[in-house]
């Protein structure tokens, strides 16, 4: 991580973990064959509806971190992603949490998650 991600004490600023949850989620989706940018082209969006973050240990400037993300569930119109952020060197869990997302269309109406997206994502979990 870079110095700009830390506070005056050299500890990662707490909101950066939420940003890293997004990095893990997007990479999981991409590896499953569901690039988020492609979903948007077809008019499907996954806005965040809930986030939980449990801070266990601090990450500090220049620590190497590993983001682990998996899908907890996919329901009719929502999905939940679990995230762990580890210190790459020690393997200790620094942060654990989850995000929940609704599926909406361009007009902002909640819609059923398209079958093709559901099928690609469920192959991974």
Question: Residue 56, Cβ neighbours under 10 Å: how many?
Answer: 11
What is the residue-level pLDDT of the chain in tens, covering all 125 positions? 677 888 888 899 999 999 999 999 999 999 999 998 888 988 999 999 999 999 999 999 999 999 999 999 999 999 999 999 999 999 999 999 999 999 999 999 999 999 988 998 888 54
Query: What CATH number does the domain containing 38 carry?
Result: 3.10.129.10
Q: What is the strand order of the sheet 93-102 is part of? A: 48-55, 93-102, 78-87, 65-74
Q: How high is the pLDDT of residue 9?
A: 86
What is the span of the domain harbouring residue 73? 3-122
- CA–CA dist 104, 48 (Å, integer): 11
Distance separating alpha carbons of residues 59 and 92, to the nearest angstrom: 10
Query: For residue 55, what pLDDT is reported?
Result: 97
> Measured between alpha carbons, how far is 2 from 42 in angstroms, rounded to an integer?
35
Q: In angstroms, what CA-CA distances link 111 with 37, 42, 93, 114, 118?
A: 18, 13, 35, 8, 13
What total number of domains does the chain contain?
1
What's the pLDDT score for residue 3? 78
pLDDT at res. 7: 87
Both tokens of residue 87? 């210190």
Residue for token digits 């909101």?
15
């Amino acid at each position: 991580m870079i110095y700009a991600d830390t506070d005056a004490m050299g500890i990662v600023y707490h909101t950066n973990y939420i940003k890293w949850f997004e990095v893990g989620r997007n990479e999981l989706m991409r590896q499953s064959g569901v690039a988020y940018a492609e979903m948007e082209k077809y008019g499907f969006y996954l806005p965040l509806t809930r986030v939980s973050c449990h801070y266990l240990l601090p990450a500090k400037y220049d620590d190497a971190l590993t983001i682990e993300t998996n899908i907890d569930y996919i329901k009719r119109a929502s999905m939940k992603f679990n995230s762990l952020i580890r210190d790459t060197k020690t393997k200790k869990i620094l942060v654990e949490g989850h995000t929940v997302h609704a599926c909406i269309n361009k007009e902002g109406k909640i819609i059923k998650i398209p079958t093709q997206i559901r099928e690609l994502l469920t192959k991974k979990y």
